[in-house]
Structure 1
Amino acid sequence: MEEKFGQDNVTPTDNTPDSGDEVKKDFQGLLGSIKKFLSELLDIRTNTDQDATKEAIIADIPFKGHTSWILICSIFIASIGLNANSTAVVIGAMLISPLMGPILGIGMSVGINDIDTLKRSLKNFGVMVVLSVLTAFLFFKFFPLRDESSELLARTAPDIRDVLIAFFGGLALVIARAKKGTIASVIFGVAIATALMPPLCTVGFGLAIGNLDYASGAMYLFTINTIFIALATFLVIKLLRFPMVRYVNSKRRRLIARLASVLAIAVMIPAGITFWNALQESLFRKQANIFIDENVAPYQFSGQGRFLEDFTDLEYNNGENSVIELVFMGNEAIPDNIIATWRTQLEDNPRLKDTDLQIIQGGQSEEINQLKYINELYETQKNQLSNKDEKIAFLEGELSRLSKSAVGQIPFKEISMEAKTNYENLARLGYSYLIATNFEKTDTIPIFEITWKKEAKRNETVKDGQKLLEWLKLRLNNNKIQVKEVVAD
């Protein structure tokens, strides 16, 4: 019997699945799932109560009675907190401030073409600003303590971070307002983050002391916050497709729509310019710090020179005539070829090519050099005098006396020349000793009296005065030195 052995032949059918099609279908399904997940995660339209949101924003616009007194109280609290340099008190003032209502009203009314609400919002906003500045002005004008605290000075020079805080704070606020069941914690957080109240207090402070630079800088910061909060409100209202206000008169409807569009564009243009300028300044400072870290800081002195990085001053002037000021101490000057190389490196950087590099250098006094010589002489002779204890004790006593004498003596002529070179607004420099006691010990305190030129700006003299004090302490190696400002006759 003959048997055949062979392979089983299986005929493929048309129903055999293709692996490529399966992968494609799986991938499309994955994309669909991700899209659905993100849609559910980020979609805010489904849980928005448009009517309640509109009513809540409109209800916060009016400014009279209780609201006006709350604003006055919050201004006083913020002014006291800024004067006392207390962050906690300033935060408390921002929490009770009602300034946010009219700003949201402006953004919403532009978004839905509601001219009546826009008029009410602008009117109440103007009254709030005037009342806030007037209250702060009166407080700082008649309050006996008017120190320029760090909390006050922080509100005079806005940068790109303030722009971003205002914009995203406004977004968070209007989104929280639009949600069914408003999230109160978000509203409180935005009130703190956007900080509308402290800049207005600083405006009043600047007007009270006659410093228009402080007042204008703080008002600029407040304007930035206002514009970007209103802009964020406008964008969210458009995104959520709030219904437009309809007017019976078609001609009036078209006019209102055009006015709203023009106002929206008018707000966006300065907002865009502000953001761009703040961004450019931020990039300038970043590149300047990179330049200093990579080129200046690594420079090695052969003697006793030192780079004072904390004294570095960066001044941005819209891309033209910006300044990088570097301060060095010690008896070794930076060679001219090194300074020329640094300037060439600045020219090669697109963001720093028009920047002026200023080098401030200070030398050591003759007394310190003499002290160094005495120390070296003593160290060289010490071995030869090892068997003469009395002479060693005598020399040590003399060295201690000379050390105190060298430290105590002030090379006033050299100090005054260097100070005049480094601080162009300095009109007069005086020096004296103050002998003081706490009835347990008596101490001698060096006092430097400084007088600034009358035309000098106050914010510059404040900064220069602090830098001068730190420079004198380091230059003379004496932490007891004090600086007293004298008003010019």
Structure 2
Amino acid sequence: MIRNIFNFINLHNGEEKKDKVLENVVSNISFRGSNLWILACAIIIASIGLNVNSTAVIIGAMLISPLMGPIVGAGFALGTYNFSLLKKSFKNLLIATFVSLTVSAIYFYVSPFKDVQSELLARTAPNIYDVLIAFFGGLVGVIAITRVEKGNPIPGVAIATALMPPLCTAGFGLATFNFSYFFGAFYLYTINCFFICIATFFVVKFLQYPSSIIDNKYEKRIRYGISILIIVMIVPSFYLAYNLYKEKKFTKTAEQFVQKEFENNGYTVIYKKINYNSSPKTIDLAFLNKKFTDSEITSFNKMLVDNGLTDTKLSIRQNDTDIKSEILNEINKFDNNISEKDIAISKLRQELDSYKVTDSTLIQEIKILYPAIGDISYGKIEQYPRTDSARLQFTLFYSGKDVDRDQLTQWLQKRIHEKNIRIISSNAE
């Protein structure tokens, strides 16, 4: 029974020949010619995606990117202690990184749009979850590479590990001289590269790929070095994850405080802004018609500590001008996100309107003038003459006999101001 379970989960089942896997890995390391052009194009696509806040475009760029090659190559080199391959992998990874940073920095420097969008912000503060995604994504990737049947995981790994967006965000930081964005995004890129490499190392060792060295002491030193690097990379991410946890906890507590002390007492909050990163932390509120005295505001500030909100200041905006300006600022932030949808909706409405005939009295007039007509259906349909383009044609279907179609056509042309009209009788033979 136990043997069957181990056989069921055995990674050696369906494994490709080791020399063939190594050959494929080595062939994907180099960044020359077409690979370099593909990388540059993928960087521009990802930069545009970050610029316009389009997730679909960013995903497309991640699928195009050939960045995984040298990272997986470095993992195989570490796992087999092949230092010439390791040197080649690092060299090509540095080339790819330099080219990517340069191309993205140039794009963002030239681009007139330098607004910080949510997709870009998401790559500036990595944490332990990014470490886990990179590690398990790397595991999936290298397991797929070592199979005879590669399957579908490789595109998914490219999306999950997200090497391109952090590099482009780092390029944005360089172009705008925002070095906090640069270091945050480049740290995320380094995490992804390192833990994909480490995941590859573990799988290579587990599958017992042949080693290039025999000295056990030298092998132990390499393992110790990798262990130290893992700790060095993980510790900052734990710190950032802890900060994220504290920020989420503070925000939730502040929301509960506002609800308990104000909303539950019937005060309508029209503006609310919670800032964790300021010193002291702040909660800014504005109300529809309630005005608080200075002593009441002081009393609410004293309640903050009792509710677990230490080092926090509550501000209530009661100046009409300030409230209006803050609300307008918040509205303007949403305008950029809404504008693309508005344009798309407007185009769809225009296209729909071109097919509609909105005259509600037309059928009644036709039946009065032509009493022999029974059922009527009409609308605009696309007509494809012997040209490259289509045109809309008003088409009327009717049932009934003894109707002068030429006369009906002329009347309709005058009535609805359409020259291109076609009339079809369901009784026509």
TM-score, L = length of structure 1: 0.60
Does residue 104 of structure 2 align to residue 132 of structure 1? no
Which amino acid in 2 is paired with 1:243?
P
* Cross-structure match for 1:221: 188
**Does 2:124 align with 1:148?**
no
**Worse-matched range after superposition: 190-199 or 53-62:** 53-62
Please name the residue that 1:277 is paired with. Answer: 239
Aligned to 1:332: 292
Pairwise CA distance, 1:269: 1.4
Distance 1:161 1:308, change over 3 A: farther
**Alignment map for 1:421-432 (pairs within 5 Å):** none
Question: Is residue 139–residue 203 contact of structure 2 (8 Å, CA) maintained in 1?
Answer: yes
Q: Does 1:75 align with 2:43?
A: yes
SS at match of 1:311: strand
Secondary structure at 2:276's aligned position in 1? strand
Q: CA deviation at 1:173?
A: 0.8
1:174 aligns with 2:34: no
1:180 aligns to what SS in structure 2?
A: coil
- 1 CA distance for matches of 2:4 and 2:304? 54
TM-score after normalising by structure 2: 0.67
Query: How big is each residue's C-alpha offset from its partner over 1:404-447, in whole Å with a ceiling of 9 and x where there is no partner?
Result: xxxxxxx4xxx3xx9xxxxxxxxxxxxxxxxxxxxxxxxxxx9x
Kindly state the Cα deviation for residue 186 of structure 1 after the two structures are TM-superposed.
0.8
Q: Which position in structure 2 is the counterpart of 1:190?
A: 157
Q: What amino acid is aligned across from residue 292 of structure 2 in structure 1?
A: E
Task: Measure the CA separation in 2 of the matches of 1:159 and 1:467.
Answer: 33
Q: Is the 8 A contact 1:305 1:329 kept in 2?
A: no
Give 2:276's aligned residue: 314
Q: Is the 8 A contact 1:108 1:237 kept in 2?
A: yes
The Cα of 1:273 is off from its aligned counterpart by: 0.6
RMSD: 3.1
Q: How far does the alpha carbon of each residue in 1:14-64 deviate from its partner, in whole angstroms, 9 at most, with x for none?
A: xxxxxxxxxxxxxxxxxxx4x456434432133323333332222211121
Q: How has the CA–CA distance of structure 1 residues 309 and 324 changed in structure 2, closer, same or farther, with 3 Å as cutoff?
A: farther
**CA-to-aligned-CA distance 1:301-336 (integer Å, 9 cap, x gap):** 6977455786223339xxxx7x64322223236554
Letter of the 1:133 partner, please give it: L
Amino acid at match of 2:185: A
Give the one of 194, 198, 208 matched to 1:231.
198
Please tell me the residue identity of whatever aligns with 2:330.
Answer: E
The answer to whether 1:39 aligns with 2:6 is yes
Structure of higher CA gyration radius: 1
Aligned partner of 1:15 in structure 2 is none
Structure 1 pair 114/39, CA: closer, same or farther in 2 (3 Å)? same
Which letter does structure 2 place at the counterpart of 1:361? I
Corresponding pairs, count? 327
- Mapped partners of 2:8, 2:87: distance in 1: 37
Q: Distance in 1 between matches of 2:161 and 2:51?
A: 20
Matched with 1:55 is 23
Change (3 A) 1:359 1:274: same
Partner of 1:371: none
Gaps of 5+ in 2: 334-429
Fraction of identical pairs, as percent: 35
Among residues 179, 184, 197, which one is paired with 1:212 in the alignment?
Answer: 179
Partners in 1 of 2:49 and 2:179 — Cα distance?
21
Q: Following TM superposition, by how much is the alpha carbon of 1:345 offset from its aligned partner in structure 2, in angstroms?
A: 4.1
**3-state DSSP class of the match of 2:40?**
helix
Whether 1:87 aligns to 2:87 is: no
CA contact (8 A) 1:305 1:332 kept: no
SS for the counterpart of 1:360 is strand
